[in-house]
Amino acid sequence: MDKSLLTLLKHHFGYTQFRHNQQAIIENVLQGKDTMVLMPTGGGKSICYQLPALVFEGVTVVVSPLIALMKDQVDALRQNGIPAAYLNSTLSMAEQQSVLQMLRNGELKLLYMAPERLIGEGNFMPFLSALNVSLFAIDEAHCISHWGHDFRQEYLSLGQLKDKFPHTPVIALTATADGVTKQDIIEKLRLRDYTVYENSFNRPNIYYGIRPKRNHYDQLISYLEEHREDSGIIYCLSRASTESLAEDLKAEGFSAEAYHAGLERNIREERQEKFLRDEVRVMVATIAFGMGINKSNVRFVVHVDLPKNIEGYYQETGRAGRDGLPSEAILFYSVGDVFKMKRFASVEGNEAQSAIMLKKLEQMAGLCEAPQCRRQYLLQYFGETSPDHCGNCDVCLGKYERSDGTIVAQKLLSAVYRVEERFGLNYVVDLLRGSSTVRESHKQLKTFGVGKDISKEQWKQYGRELIQLGYLKQSDGEYPVLRLTDTSWGVLKGEETVMLTAPSKEQPAAAPTKQS
């Protein structure tokens, strides 16, 4: 069996060996068992169902939400001599009929389709039932879960597959699932007697760095000057800002282009081609750029604006360093961006979904604020354990100097206690700094004005850090209030030492920042 799988791999795909756990996954699928695969983007998920499709008698149905990529995938398979086709709304009636005919004739090994097509109108299920379906492959499986970052209603109905095809194995694949999402995918797809295969999400050659979003245009320019020979992607939130930033960079003599979904198709393709051929060094893009693009020598990925969630951030930064050489992921962070993004983090008429998006945004902000190894934070998010120090992120390389902040923490926690855990961080900071704006009754408190020597910004930084460290928590809702936690008391009683980040020494001058 082993030998023949390898032969098939070489013969049909031209690879000399399996990567990671591809072989184990394929063997599990070939035994007719359900399978769940978590593998980072670019890890090689496709082979995990494409190769079994060749071994099985019948047809493998691949469900994917990425209609735009289906044609490329099918073309690539056909070039390898594998009979494949896709069904989606971009095909004409006649083209669809011809695909259906090929299916009836048993001529296809792989059929790609969008979920709405599979379950929705057109009575496709009965049609499929009459065929010999050997395997269902659910790509981007996190779309079935509300807990994922890209929930799609159409995916929910994929749960019916197990009713209609109780004996057909299912393989679910995703590049981005945290623990809850993973469990949810398994339940929603009703996988049975399944095995989960996970690859480490760690990308050791990528350096993670987060910089304050102050004068970030100037910071960006000097960064690019140090990387003149390198290819990189700069992600911006809006289409307009990709264009204006690309213009500014060109004016400074950099080889840059903008890319976003609002550009005409031929312009997008041309720019993408140029980037792939290293004729354009820097792509200034919205997140529309990068999916399905396989450029191995991207040396840096910069986020000028805060990504909406860790999944997106990780996927985007993961486009750096596919060749395994040292590469960098730089993010410019400001608390202001968190507030701005909060407005985007709501799904109209769906409060539960909005709450999840908000939580994910906060976890993203947490990455930027926690004085913890960035890689450890990221891997923890994806349910992996890793050492406290990776040695290849700004935190590990000494961005933060930490010192004994027990007294500071005690002041802040006791102020929270004295105002009966009913006020937010700004108010508590005002109280500590002895501001005249606090309530008269609070001016009598022992903590009133005990923190005059520390700036308002610095107090807020301490407050956020204490939240990250779990010594404080913030209530949900529009006006979050600070609350003590189980661990607060150890600090208040002087039983516990708190290490806090020392104020940064380089405080850049507050020169006006060029808007990008």
Q: Residue numbers of the site for Zn ion (CB under 5 A)?
A: 373, 375, 390, 393, 396
The amino acid at 27? E
* Binding at 44: pick from ligand ADP, Zn ion, none (beta carbon under 5-8 Å per type): ligand ADP
CA dist 435 to 275, 408, 430, 445, 452, Å? 54, 18, 5, 13, 9
Query: Token pair of 299, please?
Result: 């040396």
Which residues ranging from 276 to 295 are in contact with ligand ADP (CB under 6 A)? Answer: 294
What is the closest distance, in whole angstroms, from the C-beta atom of residue 18 to ligand ADP in the complex? Answer: 5
Q: Pick between residue 15 and residue 344 the one whose CB is nearest to ligand ADP.
A: 15
Burial of 247 (0-12, 13-18, 19+ CB in 10 A): middle
Using CA atoms, how far apart are residues 170 and 102, in angstroms rounded to an integer?
A: 23
C-alpha torsion angle, residues 24, 30, 32, 35 (rounded to 10)? 40
Which residues neighbour 206 within 8 Å (Cβ) at sequence distance 6 or greater? 317, 318, 320, 321, 327, 328, 329, 392
Of the candidates 364, 224, 234, 356, the one whose C-alpha atom is nearest the C-alpha of residue 290 is 234
Residue 159 Cβ vs ligand ADP, minimum distance, rounded to whole Å: 23
Smallest distance from the beta carbon of 395 to Zn ion, in angstroms?
Answer: 5
- The CA distance from 448 to 430, in Å, is 9
User: How many residues of this chain interact with ligand ADP, rule: CB under 6 A?
Assistant: 13
Q: Compare residues 44 and 312 and give the one whose CB is closer to ligand ADP.
A: 44
Is there binding between residue 216 and ligand ADP (CB under 6 A)?
no
CB of 389 to Zn ion, least distance (A): 6
CA pair distance 341, 237, nearest whole angstrom: 10
**Which of Zn ion, ligand ADP, none has residue 434 at its interface (CB below 5 to 8 Å by kind)?**
none
Three-state DSSP class for 3? Answer: helix
Between CA 341 and CA 359 the distance in angstroms is 12
Could you tell me the two tokens for 482?
């600070």
**158, 138 Cβ separation under 8 angstroms:** yes
Which does residue 206 touch among Zn ion, ligand ADP, none (CB within 5 to 8 A, set by kind)?
none
Tell which residue, 332, 301, 306, 313, has the closest CA to residue 206. Answer: 301
Rounded CA separation 485/399 (Å): 28
User: Binding of ligand ADP at residue 344 (CB under 6 A)?
Assistant: no
Site for ligand ADP contains 42 (CB under 6 A): yes
User: Nearer Cβ to ligand ADP, position 202 or 334?
Assistant: 202
Minimum distance between the CB of residue 294 and ligand ADP, rounded to whole angstroms?
Answer: 5
d(C-alpha 138, C-alpha 218), whole Å: 44
Q: Is the sign of the CA dihedral 377, 383, 389, 390 positive or negative? A: negative
Residue 396's binding partner out of Zn ion, ligand ADP, none, with CB under 5 to 8 Å set by partner kind: Zn ion
Residue span 154-193 as binding mask against ligand ADP, x where in contact by CB under 6 A, dash where not: ----------------------------------------
State which of residues 47, 114, 171, 438 lies at the interface with ligand ADP (CB under 6 A). 47
CA dihedral 269, 226, 299, 295 (to 10 degrees): 20
In three-state secondary structure terms, 137 is strand
**Residue 52 in contact with ligand ADP, rule: CB under 6 A:** no
Residues 6-35 touching ligand ADP, rule: CB under 6 A, are 15, 18-19, 22
Does 321 bind ligand ADP (CB under 6 A)? Our answer is: no
Residue in 21, 28, 35, 41 binding ligand ADP, rule: CB under 6 A: 41
Query: With respect to ligand ADP, which residue has the nearer C-beta, 79 or 222?
Result: 79
Partner from ligand ADP, Zn ion, none contacting 373, C-beta within 5 to 8 A by type: Zn ion
Q: Which is nearer to Zn ion, 285 or 370 (by Cβ)?
A: 370
Residue 373 or 472: which CB sits closer to Zn ion?
373
Given ligand ADP, Zn ion, none, residue 424, with its beta carbon under 5 to 8 Å by kind, binds: none
| Identified binder of ligand ADP from the candidate list 6, 32, 46, 69, rule CB under 6 A | 46
Instruction: Output the smallest distance, CB 16 to ligand ADP, in A.
Output: 7
**β 110-113/133-138 pair status:** unpaired
- One symbol per residue from 293 to 312: x for binding ligand ADP (CB under 6 A), - otherwise; what is it? -x------------------
Looking at residue 12, its amino acid is: H
Torsion of Cα atoms, 116 then 42 then 277 then 69, to 10° = -10
Nearest to 252 by CA among 297, 282, 286, 273: 282
Binding of ligand ADP at residue 382 (CB under 6 A)? no
Give, rounded to a whole angstrom, the gap between the first and last alpha carbons of the chain: 57
Structural contact between residues 249 and 224, judged by C-beta atoms closer than 8 angstroms = yes
Q: How far is the CB of 199 from ligand ADP (least distance, A)?
A: 9
State the nearest-atom distance from the C-beta of 93 to Zn ion, in Å: 55
Q: How far is the CB of 388 from Zn ion (least distance, A)?
A: 8
Least Cβ distance, residue 45 to ligand ADP (angstroms): 3
318 touches ligand ADP (CB under 6 A): no
With CB cut-offs between 5 and 8 Å by kind, which of ligand ADP, Zn ion, none does residue 319 bind? Answer: none
Q: Which residues bind ligand ADP (CB under 6 A)?
A: 15, 18-19, 22, 39, 41-47, 294
